Amino acid sequence: MEFKHIPIMLNECIEGLNIKPDGIYVDGTLGGAGHSKEIVKRLSSKGLLIGIDRDEEALKAARENLKNYSNVQYVHGNHDEIREILNSLKIDKVDGILLDLGVSSYQLDERNRGFSYLGKSELDMRMDRSQSLTAKYIVNNYDEEKLANIIYEYGEERFSRNIARNICKYRKDKEIETTDELVSIIEQSIPKSKQKDGHPAKRTFQAIRIEVNNEIRPLYDTVLKCIECLNENGRLCIITFHSLEDRAVKNAYIKAQGQCTCPKDLPYCVCNYKSFGNMVNKKPIEATEDEKNENTRSKSAKLRIFERHEKVN
């Protein structure tokens, strides 16, 4: 299957990165290289693009999409290890980093990956198919309380207890192997009158996917690591697709920006708090109405930008 992925808020990301022709840029979620192609177009022969992705199929597609560019370094890895990746490339700092979080359109459409609640496929959901943890293992081995907590926390699903209870009942007689089996259990766990807000399995599938790929727990620290890897005036652009991601990114930006702890009645700052820069946009940037109409995935997308300016106040 062809790796198709419409880059979200492409113009906003390119503008947000404030690209220098001779700079070094990282696309930590390379995918099919939709964003990266526009980045590398703006680089000189001295510039460098580093593309990171956990999905080897994505890397293969990106190589094809960027085959006319020689200043691209491809890395099969996880953006959570950005410091280690840059060290392995003997690079200390970069001028910009882009993270487009979540699952790609290709991964959703490729039914044998198990990301989609439509159709029938094996329960997988791994972005990196070399890892051992799968959705199938989670639904068949996690205890009821852990399942319920994951579905509630990562999917914000209010019927998480019912769903977890019914998963555990079902698997006593038969292992849950396919996406349609899981969808059927979820549908039976949610009252019909409450199944009007999109597909009833959407939130549970999101939660299990997040658990499989460990998308939330390291995110706050990953954002701080990315900021540490930026040159002065370098920028970090992050696109999120749900409140858990956005909250982690926002809180990390606030932490990196720093905050004066002096009493309010002091005429000037004496606490000498350290700041690593500032948020370029205090409120997240959203896709235009035209883009939302053309690409439904962009409806929930939020872009936050941070610019590095290290100083002690």
What pTM value is reported for the model?
A: 0.89
Please give the DSSP secondary-structure letter assigned to residue 6: P
Is the pLDDT score of 25 beyond 60? Answer: yes
Q: For 92-134, where are the alpha helices, taking DSSP H only?
A: 105-109
For a pLDDT cut of 90, what percent of the chain falls above it?
78
Beta-carbon contacts of 248 under 8 Å, excluding residues fewer than 6 positions away, are 216, 219, 220, 223
- Range 97-109 average pLDDT: 78
> 142-201: per-residue pLDDT in tens?
999 999 999 999 999 999 999 999 999 999 999 999 999 999 999 999 998 887 778 999
> 33-76: per-residue pLDDT in tens?
999 999 999 999 999 999 999 999 889 999 999 999 999 999 99
Give residue 305's pLDDT: 98
Give 115's pLDDT tier (boundaries 50, 70, 90).
Answer: confident
Q: 127: burial class by Cβ within 10 Å (0-12, 13-18, 19+)? A: buried
First to last CA, the chain: 53
> Rounded mean pLDDT of the chain?
92
**Domains of the chain by start residue, with CATH:** 10-102+216-312 (3.40.50.150), 115-213 (1.10.150.170)
Give residue 193's pLDDT: 84
Give residue 79's pLDDT: 95
Give 1's pLDDT tier (boundaries 50, 70, 90).
Answer: very low
Is the pLDDT score of 108 beyond 70? Answer: no
Structure tokens at 187: 């549908």
